[in-house]
Chains A and B, each alone.
Chain A
Amino acid sequence: MSDRILEVKNLKKYFPVKTNLFGKGTEFVRAVDGIDFHIDHGEILGLVGESGSGKSTTGRTVIRLLDPTKGEIIFEGRNITNLKKKELRKVYERMQLVFQDPFASLNPRKKVGSAIEEVLFIHGMKDRAQRRERVRELFDMVGLRGEEEKYPHEFSGGQRQRVVIARALAVDPRLIICDEPVSALDVSIQAQIINLLTSLKDRLGLSYLFISHDLRVVRYMSDRVAVMYLGKIVEIAPADEIFKNPAHPYSKALLSVASIKGSGKGRKKIILKGEVPSPVNPPSGCRFRTRCEYATVYCGEAEPQLKCIGTGHYVGCHLY
């Protein structure tokens, strides 16, 4: 147990879409519907899936920006599922979040240096000189030496993402939840941020929950990868393994269309039929059965559980 920094058990997050007279939900979007996973110390877990699969909701629920509907979140051996706001502040010294959009996550009226100083102040660093010193150190770390006195609009997208990363690191966290950290950036800038994140991980011994729809980036970054589909984890395995031998029909299709450099035309691809069904009324039994070419009658009746089919390789499919 002690080597796990985060453990999530049967996590569910429902959003009400219709409410009755008393404001109680009667119909729900089941964004995350019962998932289990863990992250070890110093590990990067990649979370992939298409839009609406619940990967961002998972990230936000884990860090308690959203309150889970059900389930348990155990962070560094402590159950944080029901902590109050005040108690959560202590948790946030150990766990931080980096969002996708570096344009929306910085206050345009604040110099980036003082935005980070504010974080330090809130977390109890009352001495001004000390804060200044720490900010300088952080900017050094993310490759923005001496740029503390600028406003966000003076930075490009990639530089802003560096500021956001510096802010996340301010409190010296152990786990960072990266929600599509490079998706909004140009290709040539993406590589810079990816390299920054990997070198920071090695230097500071961080763990990441790395959420992305870009399979190439996830493959590159992650030690293990979890594939989500309609609120469920359908497969979870070490990165090498899942990319070499994907087991779930959805993972197979998803990985086959992941554009591989230069391979272009003529590569064998599995083109899925149809589109992701609505998470309000997900299909009964296996959620993927409506698009699955191997689906049988049985798939509509029982929901598959995650089964172990190799070292650390779990798949939720009746074929196994």
Chain B
Amino acid sequence: MGEEILKVKDLSVNFYIEDRVIPAVDGVSFSLQKGETLGLVGESGCGKSVTALSIIGLLQTPPARIVKGEIIFRGENLLDKSYEEMRRIRGKDISMIFQEPMTSLNPVFTIGRQISEVIMQHQNVSKKEALDRTIEMLKLVRIPLPENVVRQYPHQLSGGMRQRVMIAIALACRPGLLIADEPTTALDVTVEAQILELINELKDKLNSSIIIISHDLAVVSEIADKVAVMYSGRIVEYADVHTIFNKPKHPYTRGLLEAVPDIDMNRQQRLKEIRGVVPRPDEIREGCRFKTRCDCAGEVCMDKEPPFYQVGKNLGRCWNYA
């Protein structure tokens, strides 16, 4: 702890589609210490995946373009790196787990080949050594009979197993930073619990920093140390995981927590809902992004966007705490 591994400063990403400019991410800043886990939470279209793709340099350009900001990884700005340099970093120092374990693996290569490819790409080892390391990785992610699995193809594995293979690929070179984009969304609850437990355990073992992206606050609560809640391209609240759950400050975070029924609630208690719909990213240009759905929006919220305010242990973008 204490050593800062990643610092994102004022990151803005626009999508240029036909003649429209859509600000998907707008001035996002956060930092991540070594060994720390950050949860990025928000609903579809809030910009959480775009933030992640910007960090790892996988943003489709065009239509997207990073228009502002810095991404400092181990003291160097990743946005200044060339394509070749990024290729060497990706998979070695920063790697990513995607949501869809079904489509992220190549169906025509064996599991063994797909993992050892990553190892050989980034480290100067022989094929034999790479294969040994592969089996070691599969053991690490607790795949039974790894000697057999290396010869198998993705379609022979179940969803949970494939996600384990993805984790093995991502961790093969012991990256300093792991980005997990909705790693359990496509999985069943009992398998989800297995995978979350695995990520938690490996985090301690490998001392990697993790950014976990999810729309489900509960999933994030399982592994994150700190949580950033995003809404419409901006971080609206930032705090440690305990504070977010027990003392949420921003009306949106409160709404998100209240919108999910608690396990001991029944129909007699009406669920609190957030009214309206998620705005399109280019819809709100002025004032607070959440003003159209907020119950406590006042006049100032309409035309001036709130800066971050420190409220207790939270950082919240809301005029109510001005």
A interface, CB within 8 angstroms of B: 44, 50-51, 156, 158-159, 186-192, 194-195, 198, 213, 215-217, 219-221, 239-240, 243, 253-254, 257-265, 269, 271-272, 275-276
Contact = CB atoms under 8 A, between A and B. Distances in A.
Contact of B270 (A195, A215, A263): A195
A265 B221 CA distance: 7
Given A189-B277, A269-B193, A258 B263 contact: yes
A191 B219 contact: no
B277 A159 contact: yes
B221 A187 contact: no
A212 to B, nearest CB: 11
A24 B221 CA distance: 51
B245 A262 contact: yes
A218 B266 CA distance: 9
Given A213-B188, A216-B260, A191 B222 contact: no
A216 B266 contact: no
A125 to B, nearest CB: 31
A245 to B, nearest CB: 13
B78 interface: no
A316 to B, nearest CB: 18
A268 to B, nearest CB: 12
10 contacts: A187-B256, A187-B259, A191-B259, A221-B267, A260-B262, A261-B217, A262-B221, A271-B194, A275-B161, A276-B188
B241 A191 contact: no
Contacts of A44: 267
Given A195-B273, A239-B266, A264 B241 contact: yes
Contacts of A216: 260-263
B263 A186 contact: no
Contacts of B219: 259
B255 interface: yes
A191 B271 contact: yes
B17 interface: no
B146 interface: no
Given A50-B190, A188-B256, 13 more contacts: A188-B273, A190-B260, A195-B271, A217-B261, A221-B267, A257-B192, A258-B263, A259-B218, A260-B263, A261-B245, A264-B222, A271-B194, A272-B193
| Closest A-B pairs by Cβ, 4 of them | A259-B218, A262-B245, A220-B261, A264-B221
B274 A254 contact: no
Interface in B32-63: 43-44
